[in-house]
């Protein structure tokens, strides 16, 4: 078995230093956990050391012979606020308060505003700054730590909602742009740190469940926000903007993100079930990070995915503008609520199609799932072009009271949201994605017929389609040719 490097003269934790004599300091009950971590019973305390095989003749060697990772009294669990579950709940609540409610607000169609051009321009500004801070997020995290980066990342969201509230009440636009700028800066930091915590803090055997918990909180923010807006605006059967009370509810919830984020524990104090502590890398050279990022960007796998992520970012301005242009206020509120529900269901459906053994061949399952999603997206854009060509001459105002005309137009919006949901949760290149979003909102801010936007989006999907297919086949081939190496439980 491979021998892992150890560090001699490792310092013992402060609460153990001087409490035992060398004669009493015996490594007993040695056992292996997943080949990378050895758990020992040291004078009644359960802990972990780095090492490969610990030979029987080494059992009497004192603790200085090994790199001690962490100890806790045997049989005593860490406080709940130091567990990985608590950290995931904190991140989930922040995701609920900040991006979750923001998504519900934008699900109303251009943030619930009456002017698509104003909000599209503001969102273009937001995503432009977010593109920059997405890449700067790791640097800030290394500088001030996970806790304060998460808290700072929540600051801009209520300012964005406050700008829309002020515009709703007085028509002022300055806070809309200032709130978008602030939200773009903080959201980039939030996006960069929430994923690192949700994937890096948990134990390996709990990682999948905890990531699902994180996504559930984020999605429920969208659902709760949609329900609030629907409850407040359910009787507004005309075009216009949502009631100002809607924004007050959103602002109140989003303001909770900052204090909730401060409950996050620093990595050194978080205790996993196996006794190990999480550790965050510090002091990363920005030049080395940029060099590694450039090397990754030039890889073939990333190149194949760039058109898909750019397409995904570009089209996000269209559904909200479409909803605000043709639907009543209460229909927009209904769209915000239902799009969140349907988005969650469609995401789980797409994941289940890949995971369930309905075909024994993993390659066939992946390709058929890809074909299903591709066909859904293609049909949606064909539908969009047909509908937009019709609405160009009729310019309707759609409400759920007119079920026939409403169903055709509203169904298009729902299928657009399903398509976005299925693609979003496979997105890894958020920097490229946010750049595409910034350009897409900027273009949509220029008054132009929506039929033109629908045709451009359809064309971008056609360009992304073959690239995404080859990327899917490439990933499946890698899984088939070789098993992925197991990740270490303790990162240094």
The predicted-structure confidence for 69-125, as pLDDT tens digits, reads as follows 444 444 457 788 888 889 999 999 999 999 989 988 887 776 667 677 788 888 888
Give 48's DSSP letter.
Answer: E
Q: Is it the case that residue 308 has pLDDT exceeding 50?
A: yes
Residue 74 to residue 44: CA distance in whole angstroms: 6
Contact between residue 109 and residue 320 where contact means Cβ atoms under 8 Å apart: yes
The number of beta carbons lying within 10 Å of the beta carbon of residue 300 is: 10
Cβ proximity of 327 and 411 under 8 Å: no
In this prediction the pTM is 0.67
> In the structure encoding, which two tokens stand for residue 128, read together?
């432009």
The full set of domain ranges for the chain reads 1-76, 78-298, 300-430+444-484
What confidence tens digit (pLDDT) does each residue in 8-33 have?
Answer: 334 444 434 444 433 333 333 333 33
State yes or no: pLDDT of 409 exceeds 80.
yes
Which of 27-31, 157-161, 291-295, 452-456 has the highest mean predicted lDDT (pLDDT)?
Answer: 157-161
* The CATH number of domain 78-298, selected from 1.10.3720.10, 1.20.1250.20, 1.10.1750.10, 1.10.10.10: 1.20.1250.20
The CA radius of gyration of the chain, in Å to the nearest whole number, is 26
The whole-number average pLDDT for the span 55-68 is: 38
Average pLDDT across the chain, whole number: 72
Mean pLDDT over 340-353 rounds to: 72
Residue 150: per-residue pLDDT:
92
End-to-end distance of the chain based on CA atoms, in angstroms? 21
Task: Give tens-digit pLDDT for 230-267.
Answer: 888 888 878 777 888 889 989 999 999 999 999 998 88
pLDDT band at 186 (very low <50, low <70, confident <90, very high): very high
Distance CA 304, CA 467 (A): 5
Taking the C-alpha atoms of residue 341 and residue 216, their distance in angstroms, rounded to an integer, is: 11
Q: CB–CB of 131/435 below 8 Å?
A: yes
Exposure b/e, 369-380, CB count within 10 A at least 16 = b: bbeebbeebeeb
- Helices marked H in 234-328: 244-254, 257-261, 286-297, 300-315, 317-326
Between CA 368 and CA 98 the distance in angstroms is 35
Contact 353, 472 (CB under 8 A): no
**Banded model confidence at residue 151, pLDDT cuts 50, 70, 90:** very high
Q: What is the C-alpha to C-alpha distance for residues 373 and 371, in angstroms, rounded to an integer?
A: 6
- Supply the angle between the helices 116-144 and 317-326 in degrees, to the nearest 10: 150
More confident residue, 306 or 145: 145
Top-confidence residue, 416 or 84: 84
pLDDT tens-digit readout, 290-301 = 666 666 666 676
Q: Is residue 377 predicted with pLDDT exceeding 60?
A: yes
Find tokens 């995503």 and name the residue.
127
**Nearest-angstrom CA–CA distance, 378 and 194:** 32
Residues 6+ apart with CB under 8 A from 439: 124, 313, 314
The three-class DSSP label of residue 271 is strand
* pLDDT value of residue 4: 34
Q: Which helix (DSSP H) or strand (DSSP E) does residue 238 occupy? A: none
For the record, the structure tokens of 6 come out as 């150890």
C-alpha to C-alpha distance for 106 and 100, rounded to whole angstroms: 10
Going by pLDDT thresholds of 50, 70 and 90, the confidence category of residue 35 is very low
CA distance 183 to 486: 37
* Pairing assessment for the beta strands 68-73 and 45-50 based on DSSP bridges: antiparallel
Give the residue from 462, 456, 375, 358 showing the smallest Cα distance to 419. Answer: 375
Rounded to a whole number, what is the largest CA-CA distance in the chain? Answer: 91
């Amino acid at each position: 078995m491979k021998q892992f490097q150890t560090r001699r003269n490792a310092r013992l934790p402060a609460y153990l230093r001087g409490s035992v004599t060398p004669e009493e300091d015996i490594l007993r009950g040695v056992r292996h956990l997943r080949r990378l971590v050895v758990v020992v019973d040291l004078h009644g305390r359960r802990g972990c050391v780095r090492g490969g095989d610990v030979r029987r003749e080494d059992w009497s060697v004192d603790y200085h012979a090994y790199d001690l990772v962490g100890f806790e009294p045997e049989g005593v669990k860490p406080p709940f606020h130091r567990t990985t579950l608590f950290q995931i709940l904190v991140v989930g609540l922040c995701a609920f308060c900040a991006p979750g409610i923001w998504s519900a607000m934008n699900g109303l169609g251009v943030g619930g505003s009456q002017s698509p051009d104003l909000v599209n321009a503001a969102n273009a500004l937001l995503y432009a700054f977010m593109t920059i801070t997405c890449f700067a997020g790791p640097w800030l995290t290394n500088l001030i730590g996970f806790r304060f980066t998460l808290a700072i990342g929540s600051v801009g969201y209520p300012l964005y909602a406050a700008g829309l509230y002020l515009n709703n009440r007085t028509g002022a636009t300055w806070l809309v742009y200032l709130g978008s700028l602030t939200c773009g800066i903080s959201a980039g930091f939030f996006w960069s740190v929430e994923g690192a915590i949700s994937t890096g803090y948990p134990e390996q055997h709990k990682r999948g469940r905890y990531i699902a918990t994180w996504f559930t909180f984020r999605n429920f923010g969208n659902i709760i926000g949609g329900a609030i807006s629907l409850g407040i605006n359910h009787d507004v059967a005309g075009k216009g903007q949502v009631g100002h009370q809607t924004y007050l509810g959103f602002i109140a919830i989003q303001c909770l993100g900052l204090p909730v984020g401060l409950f996050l524990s620093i990595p050194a104090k978080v205790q996993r079930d196996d006794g190990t502590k999480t550790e965050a890398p510090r002091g990363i050279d920005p030049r080395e990070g940029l060099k590694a990022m450039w090397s990754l960007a030039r890889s073939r796998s990333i190149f194949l995915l760039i058109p898909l992520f750019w397409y995904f970012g570009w089209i996000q301005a269209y559904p909200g503008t479409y909803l605000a242009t043709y639907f009543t206020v209460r229909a927009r509120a209904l769209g915000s609520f239902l799009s969140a529900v349907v988005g969650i269901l469609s995401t789980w459906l797409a994941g289940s199609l890949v995971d369930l053994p309905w075909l024994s061949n993993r390659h066939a399952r992946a390709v058929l799932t890809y074909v299903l999603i591709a066909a859904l997206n293609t049909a949606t854009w064909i539908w969009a072009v047909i509908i937009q060509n019709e609405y160009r001459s009729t310019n309707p105002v759609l409400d759920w009271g007119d079920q026939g005309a409403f169903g055709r137009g509203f169904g298009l919006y729902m299928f657009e949201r399903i398509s976005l949901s299925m693609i979003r949760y496979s997105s890894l290149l958020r920097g490229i994605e946010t750049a595409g979003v910034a350009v897409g909102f900027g273009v949509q801010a220029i008054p132009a017929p929506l039929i033109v936007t629908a045709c451009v989006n359809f064309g971008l999907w056609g360009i992304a389609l073959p690239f995404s297919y080859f990327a899917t086949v490439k990933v499946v081939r890698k899984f088939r040719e070789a098993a992925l190496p197991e990740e270490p439980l303790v990162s240094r």
